[in-house]
């Protein structure tokens, strides 16, 4: 029985950075000190510092690039979808999560966001306009399935952003990307895909119309049906 649960060397760097983020000492767009500098600051090896940076990278919190100058090194970004959706995807593969949980969560978040009165009416109007553009782009018959899914994801994330809640927005971004592999597998050929995509287009337009005419309850209901229907097709 070991009392010491193995304190990892990289943890001190992680803690230090998280603390700096909370206190505002570090903000989006800032550049982290170099790996060699951080190693000396915390009196650990560069390898351990790299562990920490690598973790932040995978979590979508920093973007690293080689070279010198203001855009080099590790720069603070915030791309929650990167880390969280990778985590979800992996756990899906390992059978630690099932699709039901993800669908449930999507319905929860999206219907909530739909029902909420928009926090910023101007932003809401922009969302309605931009989603209209996305709907038109999804009408393009030449669109590859991959591209369709990308725009589809953007459509849903945009709608969810109307409520103006960071937590919900971040999770939405991640959820929508985590299951693309699963979706691609479950509807294998283009013959079965064609009728599906027609229904999806119709549903998207109905949802958009509900938002545009400010029928938020109805929008929520349509979204739930939309998500539920689509996943009923994936078997």
- C-beta of residue 49 within 8 angstroms of C-beta of residue 14: no
Told to check if 84 binds its own copies by CB under 8 A, we report: yes
**Residue 68 interface partner, choices DNA, its own copies, none, CB cut-off 5-8 Å depending on type:** DNA
Q: Helices marked H in the chain — which ranges? A: 9-23, 35-42, 46-58, 80-93, 99-115, 121-138, 145-160, 166-178, 180-186, 190-212, 216-232
Q: Which of 28, 29, 58, 65 binds DNA (CB under 7 A)?
A: 65
Residues 103-132 touching its own copies, rule: CB under 8 A, are 104-105, 108-109, 112
96 binds, among its own copies, DNA, none (CB under 5 to 8 A by kind): its own copies
15 binds its own copies (CB under 8 A): no
Backbone angles phi, psi at 107, to 5 degrees: -60, -45
Give the N- to C-terminal CA distance of the chain in Å, as an integer.
47
Which three-class secondary structure state does DSSP give residue 62? Answer: strand
Q: Looking at 37, 47, 133, 199, which residue binds its own copies (CB under 8 A)? A: 47
- Out of 1, 94, 122, 136, the only residue in the binding site for its own copies (CB under 8 A) is 94
Give the Å distances, CA to CA, from 120 to 110, 215, 218. 17, 17, 20
Residue linked to tokens 């903000």:
27
Identified binder of its own copies from the candidate list 42, 46, 91, 150, rule CB under 8 A: 91
Q: Which of 9, 44, 75, 86 forms a contact with its own copies (CB under 8 A)?
A: 86
- Options 35-43, 133-141, 165-173, 218-226: segment touching its own copies (CB under 8 A): 165-173
Tell me, by CB under 8 A, how many residues bind its own copies: 49
Pair 76, 26: CB distance under 8 Å: yes
Question: Does residue 60 touch DNA according to CB under 7 A?
Answer: no
* Contacting positions for DNA (CB under 7 A): 2, 4, 6-10, 32-37, 44-48, 50-51, 53-54, 57, 64-74
């Amino acid at each position: 029985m070991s009392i010491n649960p193995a304190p990892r060397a990289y943890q001190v760097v992680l803690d230090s950075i998280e603390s700096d983020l909370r206190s505002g000492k570090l903000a989006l767009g800032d550049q982290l000190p170099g790996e060699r500098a951080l190693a000396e600051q915390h009196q650990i090896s560069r390898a351990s510092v790299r562990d920490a940076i690598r973790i932040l990278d995978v979590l979508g919190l920093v973007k690293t690039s080689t070279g010198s100058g203001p855009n080099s090194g590790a720069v603070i970004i915030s791309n929650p979808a990167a880390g969280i959706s990778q985590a979800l995807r992996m756990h899906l593969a390992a059978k630690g999560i099932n699709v039901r949980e993800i669908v449930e969560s999507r319905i929860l978040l999206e219907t909530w966001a739909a029902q909420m009165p928009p926090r910023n009416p101007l932003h809401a109007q922009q969302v309605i306009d931009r989603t209209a553009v996305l709907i038109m782009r999804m009408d393009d018959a030449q669109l590859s399935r991959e591209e369709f899914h990308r725009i589809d994801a953007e459509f849903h994330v945009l709608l969810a952003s109307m409520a103006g809640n960071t937590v919900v927005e971040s999770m939405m971004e991640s959820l929508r990307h985590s299951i693309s592999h699963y979706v691609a597998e479950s509807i294998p050929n283009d013959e079965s895909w064609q009728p599906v995509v027609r229904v999806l287009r119709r549903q998207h337009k109905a949802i958009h119309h509900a938002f545009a005419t400010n029928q938020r309850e109805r929008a929520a209901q349509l979204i739930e049906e939309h998500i539920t229907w689509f996943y009923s097709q994936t078997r």
